[in-house]
Amino acid sequence: MKGLKNLKYKVLIMLVAVFGGGCTDFLDEKDRSNFTLENYFTKPEHATSVVNAIYESLRPITQSGFGGGAWMMTEFATGLADTDLGQAQYSLFVKNLINNSDNGYGQTYWTNYYRGIANANLAIDQIPAINMDEGLKSQLLGEAYFMRAYYYFHLVRLFGNIPLITEPIDLSSDQLLASPADPADVYNTIVADLLEAEKTGLAFRDPTGRASMGAVKTMLASVYLTMAGYPLQMGDEYYSLAAEKAEEVIDSGEFSLFASYDDLHEPAQKNLGENIFMIQFAPYLMPSTWQVSIIPYNRGISNYSAETGGIFADENFVKAYPDGDKRAEEKAFYYTSYSLRSDRDEVIELGDYYLFKHFDEEAQTNTTSSGLNWPVMRYAEALLIFAEASNEAEGPNAKAYDAVNEIRERAGLDPLAGLSKEVLREEIWKEKWFELSFENKTWFDMVRLRKAFNVTTGQFEDYVGHQFVYGPVLKERELLFPIPTAEIRNNPNLVQNTGY
């Protein structure tokens, strides 16, 4: 596989990135091409350097332009997104359910996440032998275990039967062309990594943006919730485990919902408040690039020279929000009008529902360099995981109601009460669809539940056979994405997913 053939140690050391101790304290990494394993992993700085490199594989997924962006892959797969960008063929293939293994979005995930895994494997293998402060050593190992789990959790859900590699490899390794593992083994490794990370004494939250105990426990809750559903269907025990971990996040008191939805896209609030874990960016130094993709195509509302119209919400989905839901109000989660670059006193109607929850107003109207972080986990998700898992494990209960109603209260909706387990289940699902929209969460929920939301009826129906409001019908093959062509071609041990 191309994504694995490039993992020679010397090359990996050159991949060490500029993550640093936060979104402004970036490291100035030198060319490491003359280093080898024997002379590189000898100092505390080397341990920090290789862990910094693990985080770097997060950023390429959010990169966006006139060709779209890999983060859009799981959004168009829901049938709840639309685009003005006719040249972004990868988006259109997914949106119209005619996807194939040549889709560059899938390759971006595969290549970068396996690169992150390779750097995590190096860190976990080499850091224990370095003579350094034990507290810092434990922290860095915790971050490495967390990030390896993060990458595998995404890869196994996206592609299914994937190689499971937990040790460093080079070009002579027999794991270079690894065979796919049983998904259950991948999930068990993810859980094991997160349990190791729990032991390392990470701070419960980290305002610099590095992995924290809150992030570890939130992801572990999400993993358990997924294991309870499809494809493993491990049931009640895992719903209980998911509820337990999410409750630990809630009970920590470290996180709380923002009072205003504006704070979700306020750069000054990144890594704070309800933000548990984010992909880090900094204006001018390491700016994010998705701003050009969430504005309408060439309508002159942004200071960015590129206005791509890459992705926006299907209007039927936005109109499916309950009456009075503040999230569907103008410039909460979505926007339908904006001022012109040429005259900020003149506002034009845009005709569609663009994504305001990812909109950096200062960058769009002034600097054209965004330091807004990408949300990966926030407290709202922890509350909803707890509500769902607790209801599944115990039936309707006061704590489950409290969790989901905290989300609803902010949205201006009446609290839920007195519902059956089945009715409460679907109400919680709806809150997940509405609250976590366009944060790369919904498709994963659809697959683990084998359910899709019908925006016309407001009801959930089977995933396979669900018709998108604009026509295409989901087939069983869309439960996974295709393994990239280049990986199949370069590794004869891989087997393409059914239907591709």
pLDDT tens-digit readout, 281-316: 999 999 999 999 999 999 999 999 999 999 999 999
pLDDT at 122 > cutoff 70: yes
What does the CA dihedral 30, 32, 38, 39 come to, rounded to 10 degrees? -30
- Considering the segment(s) 2-201+481-490 as one domain, its CATH architecture is Alpha Horseshoe (1.25)
Residue 38: per-residue pLDDT? 65
Residue among 261, 256, 258 nearest 357 (CA) = 261
For residue 276, give the 3-state DSSP assignment: strand
For residue 256, give the 3-state DSSP assignment: coil
Cis (ω within 30 of 0) for the bond into 415?
no
pLDDT at 29 > cutoff 80: no
How many CB atoms within 10 Å of residue 92? 16
Kindly report, as residue ranges, where domains of CATH 1.25.40.390 are found in the chain: 2-201+481-490
Residue 30: per-residue pLDDT? 41
Inter-CA distances, 248 with 216, 251, 255, 283, 389, Å: 11, 5, 11, 34, 13
Residue 180, phi-psi category: left (phi > 0), alpha (psi -120 to 50), beta (remainder): beta
Q: Which residues contact 81 (CB under 8 A, 6 or more apart)?
A: 72, 75, 95, 311, 312, 313, 314, 438
How many CB atoms within 10 Å of residue 295? 26
**pLDDT band (50, 70, 90) for residue 35:** low
pLDDT tens-digit readout, 168-187: 988 777 778 899 999 999 99
Distance between CA atoms of 198 and 214, rounded to whole angstroms?
10
pTM for the full model?
A: 0.93
pLDDT at 145 > cutoff 60: yes
Altogether, the residues listed in the chain come to a count of 500
Kindly state the average pLDDT of the residues 223-247. Answer: 98
pLDDT tens-digit readout, 178-213: 999 999 999 999 999 999 999 999 999 999 999 999
**pLDDT band (50, 70, 90) for residue 39:** low
pLDDT above 70 coverage of the chain, percent: 92
Residue 40: per-residue pLDDT? 76
pLDDT above 90 coverage of the chain, percent: 89
Residue 8: per-residue pLDDT? 38
pLDDT tens-digit readout, 408-458: 999 999 999 999 999 999 999 999 999 999 999 999 999 999 999 999 999
pLDDT at 49 > cutoff 80: yes
Q: Is the distance from CB of 210 to CB of 56 less than 8 angstroms?
A: no
